[in-house]
Amino acid sequence: MTKPRVVETAEGIQGDFDVRVYDRMMRRMRDKGWLQTREILKAGIDRGLALEVGPGPAYLGLEWLKKSTGTSLKAVEISPAMIEIARRNAREYAFSDRVEYVKGDAGKIPFDDNLFDGAFTNGSLHEWADPKTVFNEIHRVLKPGGRYCVSDLRRDMHPLVKWFMRTVTKPKEIRPGLRSSIAAAYLVEEIEALLQECLPGGYRVEKKAMGLVITGTKAG
Ligand SMILES: C[S@@+](CC[C@H](N)C(=O)[O-])C[C@H]1O[C@@H](n2cnc3c(N)ncnc32)[C@H](O)[C@@H]1O
């Protein structure tokens, strides 16, 4: 029997130390080619203007921009310290003209209705105070026919997978954060129940070794 969720935060990753350590971890993951960029392209998010929710240090969105053509990105992030790092990283990629980071809460996305061709987010679902509202918000800002891809950890990953993740997660200062993120993550069954309550359908939830991936299309 999997233990109940333990809420990690409703304010995102805020402290300067945590943000710097998180940036180092994600930079290393980027360098090893471990980001979810392929999942996003595979989900059909490969053109036009996309939304990223909770970009953190922003490597995922920046890699998506690098691997797609003629695309641009707007991102909503709750943590000002993360936005600072994201902007620095965008300058390093020379993508400052293709991406905009806006401070805001995913529960009230600060963009117009029907604006985006696609939307994606990785690793932030377990931090949202009210996921149903966020899924509704993602739907609101997508154009009809727009695709979305939401990936995150899952709480019931196999103990060996958990051990493996802990071992490869560096720097080691981030490991307590990994443990609390897994404890706050959802099960596939919980997400399916939640989506049934807030979306009209048109989505798919996949169980992966390390997490879960939700893909879908806004009805046209
Ligand atoms: C675990 S990090 C994941 C960062 C990045 N997506 C990645 O894959 O590395 C979660 C990010 O979501 C942000 N976040 C959490 N709740 C949020 C919310 N309600 N609105 C906007 N951003 C949020 C956090 O501040 C943090 O930067």
Overall average pLDDT of the 70-83 stretch: 97
20-62 pLDDT tens trace: 999 999 999 999 999 999 999 999 999 999 999 999 999 999 9
DSSP conformational letter for 155: T
Describe the crossing of helices 16-32 and 175-184 by its angle, rounded to 10 degrees.
90
Q: How confident is the model at residue 83 (pLDDT cuts 50, 70, 90)?
A: very high
Q: Is the CB of 119 under 6 A from ligand 1?
A: no
> What does the block give as tokens for 38?
């392929």
Q: Find the 39 Cα to ligand 1 centroid distance in Å.
A: 18
Residue 11: pLDDT over 90: no
**Nearest residue by C-alpha to atom 15 in ligand 1:** 12
Q: Find the 11 Cα to ligand 1 centroid distance in Å.
A: 9
Overall average pLDDT of the 96-100 stretch: 98
Q: Is the CB of 125 under 6 A from ligand 1?
A: no
What is the C-alpha to C-alpha distance for residues 84 and 144, in angstroms, rounded to an integer? 32
Instruction: List for the chain the helix, strand, coil content (%; round to 5).
Output: 45, 20, 35
**Nearest residue by C-alpha to atom 23 in ligand 1:** 54
Residue 200: pLDDT over 90: no
* pTM exceeds 0.85 for this model: yes
Ligand 1 atom closest to Cα of residue 12: 25
Give the pLDDT score at 53. Answer: 98
The amino acid present at 42, given as its one-letter code, is: K
